[in-house]
Structure 1
Amino acid sequence: MLLLSSVQVSGCVTYGVECTRGLPGWLFGWSVGLGALAFVVALAAPVRRVRQAALGGQLLAECTALLVILSYYP
């Protein structure tokens, strides 16, 4: 919802105009991968402290991915 409020992104999604060349793949890929790994650890870890740390890492990775997207599409 946050992304579609941008004129450039909504125009790109709806009409295919003003589309940019793409996201910086390495940062987005690392943050998505780290978020997925932290998600699995948060679900599978038997120790509560490990689950809490994994959840914090997942939230950080998801916020990083969101900020990469938001900063790339003004």
Structure 2
Amino acid sequence: MHWLGWDQATRTVTADEDWWQETIKGNKLAEGFRKGPPGFIDELEIMFAGAHVDGKSSYMPGAGNEQVIIEDDN
């Protein structure tokens, strides 16, 4: 299992080595987040002030438990 966090002092994403390897393999641009904060970090802090994630309301397409409704116009 991978963990993901935030280092407020450096304003960077914290994660284990396996997570970084997998993520960078899928998206080379992700490596920039390992080295420092995004250039628009101040705007992100304004947008997400007071927000938190606990997993209770998350949604990921394809993860299961989805209700599919197919409408037939015929």
Q: TM-score range by the shorter chain?
A: under 0.3
Which is greater in Rg?
A: 2
Greater strand share, structure number: 2
* TM-score of the pair, normalised by structure 2: 0.25
More helix by share: 1
Which gives a bigger RCO, structure 1 or 2 (Cα 8 Å, sep 6+)? 1
TM-score normalized by the length of structure 1: 0.25
